[in-house]
């Protein structure tokens, strides 16, 4: 190609995290219990469990996590050393509103994030804040069955108003909901919906799925997100408020037109339904057809259409880890993946957790998304969950992670050369943290190693992996040295 792929000047390079997966301090600083605090540890083969009361005999990984609550200064200094100019983090809603429906926020909670933002500023790092990342105050789950109840919209907008006002001059980039489209999948109910499912308590139990309640909850999140966008812009017109989608790249397994249609339908329903509402401000036609086919009847207030129309996001962000295939043939082999179960692709290798590795799928996805929306994109999660070995001298040679990231950076570069307006990259779990899917520590994504194991043992000491020094050079050269 005659076009030399490069990253634009001012490209945002950093890393991504979520409060419940790194902070710990789950009952400190006046924090209320959050839905994530009720989730036990699982493994690749055993599901995490949702408990409705804390059981002292069980292991709850979020309670201590990696103790960032007490070590954020050290961690942010390491991010600064790598050269981050952006850091994606979330705010724990129950630090600010312990019960979710409190009328006044907790000053102590707000102060904690004042200090975090001050530390980021000291290191010249721009915060990118997810307002709700897979957690809500547990009281909202108990009292209202989470987002299935419309009243939660008001709790959320009060929370947003508090954050937007307090951090008006500190935070510019916001995301309303992490991976909002997980509610298009049966197991999204508790993680994102804060609804307590009726199954056997396993996070992944989908046997009692209630699509009507699930899509109603999603509708409430759409309305809440749109209201937040409008409110945020009123408070500070310079705010950039975005959506966040778990982009599930799905190829047709064969050239059979049936497979091709199915892949497109999956792309529409699991990926584009949510972003069409959030970017364009209205439900797409295929959503209406799907609801009619499934007998789903959304309860909408007369003002909802207008609210959605007035609350379109400024930019589109997404996670991308892997791709899967789709087929009309029911006998094909299933594989795992980031939220998306799908079919095995004979051309791809998978991670130890069964997520197929596909950098070209990222280029394809970036083009696919940009073709549709033509607004700035940011890749706010990407990475390889892997087991790391610490050498006798303390070093960690994670060349597999470097290779994964390198290929994905190349894919981004290609997409930019294709004309995609990609403005930033924050790989997931830039410091090792608790896995959302399995609750493990062993599934590591970080450039920074944290000494803690699945049982919760370890010194919590931080150390730099080989990928730390690699990424430092990538940032320093703005993606020229890979
Ligand atoms: C995304 C989530 O789905 O994937 C993160 O937004 C999560 O919270 C990440 O940690 C990786 O998934 P896992 O299950 O490996 O932690």
Q: What is the ipTM of this complex?
A: 0.99
Query: What is the average per-residue pLDDT within 349-370?
Result: 96
What's the pLDDT at 447? 99
What's the pLDDT at 470? 98
Atom of ligand 1 nearest to the CA of 353: 15
161 is known as an active-site residue: no
Judged by DSSP in three states, 326 sits in strand
Q: How confident is the model at residue 376 (pLDDT cuts 50, 70, 90)?
A: very high
Each residue of 34-43: pLDDT tens digit?
999 999 999 8
What's the pLDDT at 338? 60
Pairing label, strands 126-130, 173-175: parallel
Catalytic residue among 119, 135, 381, 414: 381
**Predicted confidence (pLDDT) at residue 336 exceeds the cutoff of 90:** no
**Predicted confidence (pLDDT) at residue 21 exceeds the cutoff of 80:** yes
Share of the chain above pLDDT 70, in %: 98
Each residue of 69-84: pLDDT tens digit?
999 999 999 999 999 9
Structure tokens at 365: 């996805």
Nearest CA to ligand 1 atom 3: 338
391 is known as an active-site residue: no
Sole residue written with tokens 């609750």: 439
Query: What is the average per-residue pLDDT within 160-164?
Result: 99
Residue 463 alpha carbon to ligand 1 centre in Å:
22
State phi, psi for 468 to the nearest 5 degrees: -60, -50
Q: 37-42 contacts: CB < 8 A, separation 24 or more?
A: 37/62, 37/63, 37/135, 37/138, 38/138, 39/203, 39/439, 40/439, 41/438, 41/439, 41/440, 41/454, 42/203, 42/438, 42/439, 42/440
For residues 458 and 450, the answer to whether their CB atoms sit within 8 Å is: yes
Residue 235 alpha carbon to ligand 1 centre in Å:
31
Ligand 1 within 6 A of CB of 436: yes
The answer to whether the Cα torsion of 466, 467, 472, 473 is positive or negative is positive
Reported pTM: 0.97
Top pLDDT among 199 and 419 is at 419
Averaged pLDDT of the chain: 96
Q: How confident is the model at residue 340 (pLDDT cuts 50, 70, 90)?
A: low
Catalytic residue among 119, 126, 135, 179: 179
Task: Indicate the fold that domain 12-476 takes in CATH.
Answer: TIM Barrel (3.20.20)
**Predicted confidence (pLDDT) at residue 380 exceeds the cutoff of 90:** yes
Length of the chain: 482
Residue 212 alpha carbon to ligand 1 centre in Å:
25
Nearest CA to ligand 1 atom 16: 435
**Predicted confidence (pLDDT) at residue 2 exceeds the cutoff of 80:** no
Ligand 1 within 6 A of CB of 338: yes
Residue 437 alpha carbon to ligand 1 centre in Å:
6
């Amino acid at each position: 190609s005659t076009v030399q792929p490069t990253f634009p000047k001012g490209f945002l390079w950093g890393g991504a995290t979520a409060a419940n997966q790194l902070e710990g301090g789950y009952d400190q600083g006046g924090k209320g219990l959050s839905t994530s605090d009720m989730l036990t540890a699982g493994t690749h083969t055993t599901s995490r469990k949702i408990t409705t009361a804390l059981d002292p005999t069980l292991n709850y990984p979020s309670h201590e996590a990696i103790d960032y609550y007490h070590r954020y200064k050290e961690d942010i200094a390491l991010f600064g050393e790598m050269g981050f100019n952006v850091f994606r983090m979330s705010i724990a809603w129950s630090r600010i509103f312990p019960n979710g429906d409190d009328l006044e926020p907790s000053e102590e909670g707000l102060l904690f994030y004042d200090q975090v933002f001050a530390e980021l500023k000291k290191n010249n790092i721009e915060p990118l804040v997810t307002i709700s990342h897979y957690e809500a105050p547990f009281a909202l789950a108990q009292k209202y069955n989470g987002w299935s109840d419309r009243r939660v919209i008001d709790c959320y907008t009060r929370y947003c108003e508090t954050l937007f006002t307090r951090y008006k001059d500190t935070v510019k980039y916001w995301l309303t909901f992490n991976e909002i489209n997980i509610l298009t999948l049966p197991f999204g109910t508790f993680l994102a919906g804060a609804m307590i499912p009726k199954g056997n308590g396993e996070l992944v139990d989908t046997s009692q799925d209630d699509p009507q309640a699930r899509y109603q909850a999603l509708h409430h999140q759409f309305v809440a997100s749109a209201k937040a966008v409008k409110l945020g812009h009123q408070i500070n017109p310079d705010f950039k408020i975005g959506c966040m989608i778990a982009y599930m790249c799905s190829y047709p397994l064969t050239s059979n037109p049936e497979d091709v249609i199915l892949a497109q339908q999956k792309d529409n329903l699991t990926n584009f339904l949510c972003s069409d509402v959030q970017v364009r401000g209205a439900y797409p036609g295929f959503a209406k057809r799907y609801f009619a086919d499934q007998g789903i009847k959304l309860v909408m207030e007369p003002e909802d259409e207008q609210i959605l129309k007035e609350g379109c996001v400024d930019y589109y962000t997404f996670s991308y880890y892997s791709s899967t295939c789709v087929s009309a043939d029911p006998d094909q082999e299933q594989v795992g993946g980031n939220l998306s179960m799908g079919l095995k692709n004979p051309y791809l290798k998978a991670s130890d957790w069964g997520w197929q590795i596909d950098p070209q799928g990222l280029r394809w996805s970036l083009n696919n998304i940009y073709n549709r929306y033509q607004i700035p994109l940011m890749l706010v999660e990407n990475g390889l969950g892997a087991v790391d070995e610490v050498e006798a001298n303390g070093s960690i040679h994670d060349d597999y992670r470097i290779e994964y990231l390198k290929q994905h950076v190349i894919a981004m570069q290609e997409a930019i050369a294709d004309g995609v307006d990609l403005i930033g990259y924050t790989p997931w779990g830039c410091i090792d943290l608790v896995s959302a899917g399995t609750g493990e520590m062993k599934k590591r994504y970080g450039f920074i190693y944290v000494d803690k194991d699945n049982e919760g043992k370890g010194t919590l000491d931080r150390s730099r992996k080989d990928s730390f020094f690699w990424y430092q050079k990538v940032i320093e050269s703005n993606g020229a040295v890979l």
